[in-house]
Amino acid sequence: MEILIRPDADQASRLAARIVARTVRQNPRAVLGFATGQTPLPLYRELVRMHREDGLDFSAVTSFNLDEYVGLAPSHPQSYHAAMWANLFGRINIAPERVFIPDGLAVDIPAACRAYEESIRKAGGIDVQILGIGTDGHIGFNEPTSSLASRTRIKTLTAQTRRDNAEFFGGEYKVPHHVITMGLGTILEARTCLLLAFGKTKAAAVAKTVEGPVTAMVPASVLQLHQRAILLLDEDAASELERADYYRFVDANKPDWQKP
The tens digit of pLDDT for each residue in 140-195 reads: 999 999 999 999 999 999 888 898 888 888 888 888 999 999 999 999 999 999 99
Q: Is 136 a catalytic residue?
A: yes
- The model's confidence at residue 257, banded by pLDDT at 50, 70 and 90, is confident
The tens digit of pLDDT for each residue in 65-82 reads: 999 999 999 999 999 999
Q: Where are the alpha helices (DSSP H) in the chain?
A: 9-26, 41-54, 80-87, 109-122, 159-164, 166-169, 184-188, 203-211, 244-252
Q: Which of 46, 68, 127, 143 is catalytic?
A: 143
Q: Is residue 94 over pLDDT 90? A: yes
Q: Is residue 87 over pLDDT 80? A: yes
Q: Which of 51, 81, 138, 226 is catalytic?
A: 138
Return the higher-pLDDT residue of 260 and 18: 18
b/e per residue 21-33 (b: at least 16 CB within 10 A): bebbeeeeebbbb
d(CA 59, CA 94): 5
Q: Please state whether beta strands 67-69 and 178-181 pair in parallel, antiparallel, or not at all (unpaired).
A: antiparallel
Residues in the chain: 260
> Residue 248: what pLDDT?
97
d(CA 229, CA 179): 25
Say what the pTM is.
0.95
Query: Percentage of the chain surpassing pLDDT 90?
Result: 90
Contact of 149 with 184, CB cutoff 8 Å:
yes
Query: Percentage of the chain surpassing pLDDT 70?
Result: 100
> Residue 258: what pLDDT?
80
The chain-wide mean pLDDT, for the chain, equals 96
Contacts of 49 (CB under 8 A, 6+ apart): none
CATH topology of domain 2-253: Rossmann fold (3.40.50)
What letter would DSSP give residue 144?
T
- The model's confidence at residue 256, banded by pLDDT at 50, 70 and 90, is confident
Q: Which of 103, 136, 164, 234 is catalytic?
A: 136
Q: ∠ at Cα 96 (174, 115), nearest 5°?
A: 70
- The model's confidence at residue 34, banded by pLDDT at 50, 70 and 90, is very high
Q: Which of 46, 67, 127, 234 is catalytic?
A: 67
Contact of 140 with 187, CB cutoff 8 Å:
yes
Contact of 24 with 30, CB cutoff 8 Å:
yes
d(CA 1, CA 11): 20
Q: Is 251 a catalytic residue?
A: no
Q: Is 67 a catalytic residue?
A: yes
Q: Is 138 a catalytic residue?
A: yes
